[in-house]
């Protein structure tokens, strides 16, 4: 399931992020690459041990915890501390699949990567190219969102970032270990949860709500691990 979540960060938060990031020290993005990714990756990152990365990452984690769409879609068990990257003119990240396990040395966090996430921090008007291309059941999905918006997609997906031909693309990226490991099961639970939300809004006294809510929680009980 590929899901876009608009406006995870406010315009004021995005402006604050950019003011701090644009004046920070960037390093070769391969500091966090595995063997295969290093062959395809050409970008820059804020070091994962940077106090700035920790500070801004905490803001993102708080925003995620308050976003009902994210909580419903990801069913997060643990979120990897957010990292930050920048693609300038000529930079790209070729086709790759994210590593199945990720470790964060500064915090000793280690997770299974079920879901990949990209939070855009540059508006599309600031750069040409830089689209995130994700291959799924329905073909290749092209993603280029407004600053402050998030996209979630299965970490098992083959994906890439198109070369930048003008400007710079700044983003945060991270992974989620979900309580429900399988993407197809998460997608079914998300669809069911959204149907319950709509029915609750349109027909709050409908007795079907109790039955549907029970089905949702029993499926989560069957498929989930706390």
- Name the binding residues: 96, 98, 159, 169
Q: How far apart are CA 88 and CA 92, in angstroms?
A: 9
**The domain 3-178: what is its CATH number?**
2.60.120.620
Residue-wise pLDDT for 31-70, tens only, equals 655 555 556 788 999 999 999 999 999 999 999 999 999 9
The first and second tokens of residue 177, run together, are 């270990």
Q: Looking at the whole model, is its pTM more than 0.85?
A: yes
Q: What is the mean pLDDT of the chain?
A: 94
The binding site for Fe cation comprises 96, 98, 159
- Nearest CA-CA partner of 174 in 44, 83, 68: 83
Cα of first residue to Cα of last residue in the chain, in angstroms, is 21
Q: Which residue ranges make up each domain of the chain?
A: 3-178, 183-223
Binding residues for 2-oxoglutarate: 169
**pLDDT band, residue 144 (cuts 50/70/90):** very high
**Averaged pLDDT for residues 6-22:** 97
Same-fold call for 3-178 versus 183-223: no
Q: Which stretch of 33-37, 96-100, 136-140, 163-167 has the lowest confidence by average pLDDT? A: 33-37
160-190 tens-digit pLDDT: 999 999 999 999 999 999 999 999 999 999 9
Taking domain 183-223, whether its CATH number is 4.10.860 is answered by yes
Span 15-39, average pLDDT:
79
């Amino acid at each position: 399931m590929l899901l876009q979540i608009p406006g995870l960060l406010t315009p004021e938060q995005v402006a604050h992020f950019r003011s701090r990031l644009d004046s920070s020290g960037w390093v070769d993005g391969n500091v966090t690459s595995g063997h295969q990714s290093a062959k395809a990756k050409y970008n820059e990152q804020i070091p994962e041990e940077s106090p700035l990365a920790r500070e801004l990452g905490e803001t993102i984690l708080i925003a995620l915890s308050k976003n009902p769409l994210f909580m419903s879609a990801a069913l997060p068990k643990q979120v990897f501390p957010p990292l930050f990257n920048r693609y300038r003119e000529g930079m790209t990240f070729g086709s790759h699949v994210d590593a199945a396990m990720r470790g964060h040395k500064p915090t000793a966090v280690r997770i299974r990567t079920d879901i990949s996430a990209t939070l855009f921090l540059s508006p599309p008007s600031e750069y040409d190219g830089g689209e995130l291309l994700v291959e799924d059941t329905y073909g290749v999905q092209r993603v280029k969102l407004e600053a402050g918006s998030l996209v979630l997609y299965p970490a098992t997906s083959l994906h890439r970032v198109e070369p930048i031909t003008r400007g710079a693309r700044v983003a945060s990226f991270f992974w989620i270990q979900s309580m429900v490991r399988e993407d197809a099961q998460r997608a079914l639970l998300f669809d069911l949860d959204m149907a319950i939300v709509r029915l609750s809004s349109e027909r709050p006294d409908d007795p079907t709500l109790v039955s549907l809510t029970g089905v949702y929680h029993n499926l989560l009980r069957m498929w989930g691990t706390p």
